[in-house]
């Protein structure tokens, strides 16, 4: 199963990817997670990426494309993948199709998780994350104890780019640079639109239905 999760920041891509990994036993690649790890490890790529991320802009295509290609070529992804946060530009989508072709693979479907802007702002500004990888929302999915991770007991944090100033910029970037991918994947028949405004478990049921029909 080779799947792309498309959707604005805050649409619930990471939340659904976590459920899909459990259900289908397919590995997940999040380019946002790759960059955040590189930033925290202070690698050369992380230092370059940080400047763009702090401004809410996209990291340049030539950096992102190389990283994803390298990942997808590893053995871990030989039986499938769920891509989250990539592609985000038409150039990235073209590069993905080309690289998969070189590997004798192709995408099976692109799930576009659709959520309106007002809800996206609420989801992003209320998101809290833990270093262990768990994601919460202070209203929609709060931790049992205030701002403490249920799984590991560490204090939760707000991502710097989830502050309202950067959120607005990231949403503009999504509508200008990533939205054209909806038509791109509609035109090549891969697009499946998912109503992302429902609860996380209802969204997942819809995804299961779409994947089930496909299978």
Show which residues are catalytic: 13, 88, 127, 159, 170
Q: What is the DSSP letter of 26?
A: -
Count of residues that interact with ligand ADP, criterion CB under 6 A: 19
Q: Which residue has the tokens 């702090």?
A: 54
Candidate residues 88, 137, 170, 192; the one interacting with ligand ADP per rule CB under 6 A: 137
75-80 long-range contacts (CB < 8 A, ≥24 apart) are: 76/27, 77/27, 77/29, 79/26, 80/1, 80/2, 80/3, 80/24, 80/26, 80/27
| Alpha helices for the chain (secondary structure H) | 13-24, 31-40, 44-55, 61-72, 90-102, 117-126, 164-173, 180-187, 200-214
According to CB under 6 A, which residues from 137 to 176 bind ligand AMP?
Answer: 161, 170
Minimum gap (Å) between residue 41 Cβ and ligand ADP: 21
Would you count residue 64 as binding ligand AMP (CB under 6 A)? yes
135 binds ligand AMP (CB under 6 A): no
Rank residues 99 and 125 by Cβ distance to ligand ADP and give the closer one. Answer: 125
Calpha distance 6→12 (Å, rounded): 10
Q: Is 196 one of the binding residues for ligand AMP (CB under 6 A)?
A: no
What distance in Å separates the CA atoms of residue 194 and residue 206, rounded to the nearest whole number? 7
Among 2, 3, 6, 10, binds ligand ADP (CB under 6 A): 10
Among 11, 18, 77, 88, binds ligand AMP (CB under 6 A): 88
Helix axes 61-72, 90-102, angle to 10 degrees: 30
Asked if 31 touches ligand AMP (CB under 6 A), the answer is yes
Q: In angstroms, what is the minimal distance from the CB of 173 to ligand AMP?
A: 7
Q: Which residues bind ligand ADP (CB under 6 A)?
A: 7, 9-15, 123, 126-127, 135-137, 140-141, 199-200, 203
Interacting residue ranges for ligand AMP, rule: CB under 6 A: 9, 31-32, 35, 52-53, 56-59, 64, 85-86, 88, 92, 161, 170
């Amino acid at each position: 199963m080779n799947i792309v999760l498309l959707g604005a920041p805050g649409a619930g891509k990471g939340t659904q990817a976590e459920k899909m990994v459990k259900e289908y036993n397919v590995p997940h690649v999040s380019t946002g997670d790759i960059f955040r790890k590189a930033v925290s490890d202070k690698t050369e790529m992380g230092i370059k990426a940080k400047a763009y991320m702090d401004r809410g802009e996209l990291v340049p295509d030539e950096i992102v494309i190389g990283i994803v290609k390298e990942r997808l070529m590893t053995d871990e992804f030989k039986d499938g993948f769920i891509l989250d946060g990539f592609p985000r530009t038409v150039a990235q989508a073209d590069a993905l199709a080309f690289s998969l072709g070189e590997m004798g693979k192709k995408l099976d479907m692109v799930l576009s998780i659709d959520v309106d802007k007002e809800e996206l702002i609420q989801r992003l500004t209320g998101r809290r994350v833990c270093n262990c990888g768990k994601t919460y929302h202070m209203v929609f999915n709060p931790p049992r104890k205030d701002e403490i991770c249920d799984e590991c007991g560490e204090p939760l944090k707000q991502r710097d780019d989830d502050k309202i100033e950067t959120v607005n910029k990231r949403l503009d970037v999504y509508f200008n640079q990533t939205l054209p991918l909806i038509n791109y994947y509609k035109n090549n028949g891969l697009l499946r639109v998912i109503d992302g405004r429902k609860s996380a478990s209802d969204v997942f049921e819809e995804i299961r239905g779409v994947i089930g029909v496909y299978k």
